[in-house]
Amino acid sequence: MRIDRAVLAFAGVMVLASVALTQLVSPWWWLLTAFVGLNLLQSAFTGFCPAAMLMRRLGVGRGQPDGCGFR
């Protein structure tokens, strides 16, 4: 899996988990959803992504381009 897709998958899991926690535990979990969204927005403009840095250290590589033409 490429690192860009891993970051998107991680962000999606975090959003879904925070929505579930909001419904099951406390409405304060909406703050996690907002944090994930703000982090995605700032990384789009600055290129700084803590999740990508962590995943790179954990061994998620750049991988090969997929067959859809994404690079």
3-state secondary structure the chain: CCHHHHHHHHHHHHHHHHHHHHHHCCHHHHHHHHHHHHHHHHHHHHCCCHHHHHHHHCCCCCCCCCCCCCC
Tell me the per-residue pLDDT of 11-63, one tens digit each, with 9 for 90 and over: 999 999 999 999 999 999 999 999 999 999 999 999 899 989 888 998 887 76
What tokens were used for 60?
């998620």
Q: Is this structure's pTM higher than 0.85?
A: no
